[in-house]
Amino acid sequence: MKRILFVCKYNRFRSQVAEQFFKKYNQNKEIKADSAGLLKGRYPLDKTEVKTAEKFGIKINKKPETISIDELIKTDVVIIVANDVPKSTFNYEGRYVQKIIVWKIPDEFTGNKKKIEEIINLIELKVKKLVKKLGV
């Protein structure tokens, strides 16, 4: 089984959006996805982000989680969704993760609905390309 981990700084928005879109579009049950953050973000999640994501047909509602070494060991591909998480975090002498992909998507902290929609659209596009590339 192949495991993908979507990562952002707090696991409050970007990585959860990517995880949910992957689960929506992935047809290959041999590939599993999860999301986590470098730091555990606050809960509850931002209401504007949650409501906007629902308009795109996904729910972001899990409590933010952090990354553990055990999780990394079980992961085949880390996708850094964020623009503020260094790739070097996961490339410790090649020990933890076989492949790291970086998307560099900025976060939105002001509640600007248009920006939130743009971020969700961009993540959805990238996930669709990923799913197509994986042949699922």
Model confidence pLDDT, tens digit, residues 32-51: 999 999 998 888 889 999 99
pLDDT of residue 99: 87
Measure the CA–CA gap between 36 and 77, rounded to whole angstroms: 13
Instruction: Please count the other Cβ atoms lying within 10 Å of the Cβ belonging to residue 18.
Output: 29
pLDDT of residue 131: 95
**pLDDT of the residue at 90:** 81
Residue 76 token pair: 């085949």
> Please, where are the H alpha helices in the chain?
14-25, 47-55, 69-73, 113-134
Low-confidence ranges of the chain (pLDDT < 70): 92-96, 136
pLDDT of amino acid 82: 96
